Amino acid sequence: MVSAGDVYRIIDYLAPFDAAEEFDNVGILVDTGKKTENILFALDATDEVIDEAVEKNCGIIVSHHPVIFEGIKRINKKTPAYKAAFNDISVISAHTSLDIAEGGINDVLAETLGLIVEGRYCDGIGRFGHFRTEKQPLEFVELVKTRLKTGEISCVLGNRSIKRVAVGGGSYKFVKAAIAIDVDAVVTGEIKYDAALEAKGCGITAIAAGHYHTEVVGMVDLMDRVQSLLSNKAKCFFTETKENPFELL
């Protein structure tokens, strides 16, 4: 059995919490002080994910997005943090600390797409790299859809072959930062209209593959690495709850 502190120390070793952005809220955000044999990993500690944790007898949830964020001023029975504590479930959140970490969200995203990573960009959070052979824009779009299992996606199709690519999971200023380092394409979770126009004007391919799809691969990888370090002290599960709130119609 393990405590939230035990799991915190493992994640801190893999993706140090003190590297998180100043605005962020990471670490043990709900601590029941109890030990558990089961840990549930998810992108968000929503009501449905907490219900799943109760059903699977998981005493710890590890989420990417913080369960307490942006100055919550009151808690009631509908607040996920309250519900977790009420059900004796601790919650650990690894957000921008995992985005920026070596082997974190953005390294895994780049590797999932088959990129050879060259370095960092966009305040050190994003990654950029290259393919061994060039790809055409539509070919690259299909690769992203297949590797990230997205279904349909929104994109700006560029007018050049693609070899150098920048990636950044979730939502941040990745597109404009990618343009500044002269890549052929950028893959991120969400793209604002003005950034899409700028990408089109520069002739680069910009893909909004979805906030969920660009981050979940990194959380699954984190779960696997935590499990390997826990050995047989506890069992890790990834949520089976449908977390992505968007529907493609």
Residues 76 and 125 in one domain: no
Q: How far is CA 121 from CA 9, 129, 178, 182, 206, in A?
A: 28, 10, 8, 11, 16
Kindly state whether residue 217 falls inside one of the protein's structural domains: no
Angle subtended at Cα 19 by Cα 165 and Cα 210, rounded to the nearest 5 degrees: 40
- The pLDDT score that the predictor gives to residue 52 is 98
- Judge if 83 and 107 occupy the same domain: no
Asked if 160 contacts 186 with a C-beta cutoff of 8 angstroms, the reply is no
**Quick check: is 242 in a domain?**
no
Please list the pLDDT of the chain residue by residue as tens digits (249 residues). Answer: 999 999 999 999 999 999 999 999 999 999 999 999 999 999 999 999 999 999 999 999 999 999 998 767 677 877 899 999 999 999 999 999 999 999 999 999 999 999 999 999 999 999 999 999 999 999 999 999 999 999 899 999 999 999 999 999 999 999 999 999 999 999 999 999 999 999 999 999 999 999 999 999 999 999 999 999 998 999 999 999 999 998 877
> What is the model's pTM?
0.95
Q: Which of 51, 73, 97 is the last residue of a domain?
A: 97
- Residue 187's nearest CA partner among 132, 129, 133, 244 is 129
Pairing status of strand 126-135 against strand 162-168: antiparallel
* Structural domain contains residue 59: yes
Among 34, 67, 97, give the residue marking a domain's end.
97
Work out how many domains the chain is built from and give that number: 2
Residues 194, 167: one domain?
Answer: yes
Q: Are residues 108 and 170 in the same domain?
A: yes
Domain that holds residue 12: 4-97
In a domain, 70, yes or no: yes
CATH of the domain at 38: 3.40.1390.30
130 in the same domain as 37: no
Same domain membership, residue 107 and residue 75: no
Q: Is residue 36 part of a domain?
A: yes
CB 87 within 8 A of CB 46: no
102: exposed, middle or buried (C-beta count within 10 Å: 0-12, 13-18, 19+)? exposed
* Same structural domain, 114 and 203: yes
